Amino acid sequence: MVKALTSAMALLLAVVGFSATVQAATQSLEQRVERLERRADNPVLIQLSRRLAEQQRQIQELYGEIDRLKYQLSQTRDKMAKQYQETDERINQLETRPAGKAVTAVPVVSSEAVTSVVESREATKEAAAESKAKTHAIHPATAEEKKAYDQAFGLIKKSDYKSASEAFAKFKKQYPQSELASNASYWEGESEVILGHDQKALEAFKMVYEKYPDSSKAPDALLRSADMHQEMGQVKEAKALYEKLLKAFPKGKAATKAEQRLKDLKSK
């Protein structure tokens, strides 16, 4: 009997203990939920959460901006590499002898021949005058002119493009009738391209093909001008210059490039 009573008491105590444990656990869980609810209602935490979300959005936008800038930088590098490559090619192809039309010697005319052409003498004089005006009385470079030109070109080889541009501008102003003046104007333009002065470069190139149309640099100057207009988004001007190049100089490397680029523009 005593043993049975003892077992019953032990069982009762176990049940009471378990009930107390369950009640404590229930209260603890309720307290935790209550604390979480208080935190959720905390205006400071809400504000911090909003700020965190805003910062995450801004970070995503910055990542997008970085990707865009990387792409633009890549495009700019490719463009500059192309310009430097073309400039290097032109420097490497620089003629050892200044370009210009050969001066044709005037033949000695006998008295009989003079008699046969006496009636056309005035027309011949007018044609000669027009030819002289067209070529602006270009003369072969003197030793002084060659020295000044070489000094200016040496600045390009040193990558001192600002000084080179100034030196070439000074040369063509001081020796406008020299056969090297057209070359000086062309390389002034190339220097200004590298310096990023597009308008000055276009003016220098324009002088080459307008003032010195017989110069070997005229086709290259037209091509460079057309390319620059295209890069600036001035498609109409670019097409006009490509067509002018093909009409005036249908043969040569410049014409081949102009023809291809004109086709590319028309296909767009």
pLDDT in tens, 64-74: 677 667 666 76
pLDDT, residue 148, reads 96
Same domain assignment for residues 255 and 154:
yes
The CATH number of residue 186's host domain is: 1.25.40.10
Residue 178 φ/ψ region, left for φ over 0, alpha for ψ in the -120 to 50 degree band, beta for the rest: beta
- CA atoms lying within 13 Å on the CB side of residue 95: 11
Residue 24 lies in a domain: no
Same domain assignment for residues 84 and 151:
no
- The token pair at 103 is 């001066």
For 264, phi and psi rounded to 5 degrees?
Answer: -65, -40
Residue type, 226: A
Bridge partners (DSSP) listed for residue 139: 178
**How does DSSP assign 216-240, residue by residue?**
TTHHHHHHHHHHHHHHTT-HHHHHH
- The token pair at 52 is 């965190």
Among 90, 108, 131, residue at a domain's last position: 90
pLDDT, residue 71, reads 62
Q: CA 48 to CA 61: how far, in whole Å?
A: 20
Domain of 242 in residue numbering reads as 143-259
Among 66, 90, 114, residue at a domain's last position: 90
Domain tally, the chain: 2
Q: What is the 3-state secondary structure of 32-70?
A: HHHHHHHHHCCHHHHHHHHHHHHHHHHHHHHHHHHHHHH
Tens digit of pLDDT per residue, the chain (268 long)?
A: 555 556 656 665 665 555 556 555 555 667 766 666 666 566 666 666 677 777 766 786 676 677 667 666 766 666 666 666 676 666 656 544 444 443 333 344 444 444 444 444 554 455 444 444 444 589 999 999 999 999 999 999 999 999 999 999 999 999 999 999 999 999 999 999 999 999 999 999 999 999 999 999 999 999 999 999 999 999 999 999 999 999 999 999 999 999 999 999 888 6
Same domain assignment for residues 79 and 172:
no
Residue 207 lies in a domain: yes
Among 64, 90, 116, residue at a domain's last position: 90
Question: What count of other Cβ atoms lies within 10 Å of the Cβ of residue 25?
Answer: 10
Same domain assignment for residues 150 and 234:
yes
CA 20, distance to chain mean position in Å, is: 82
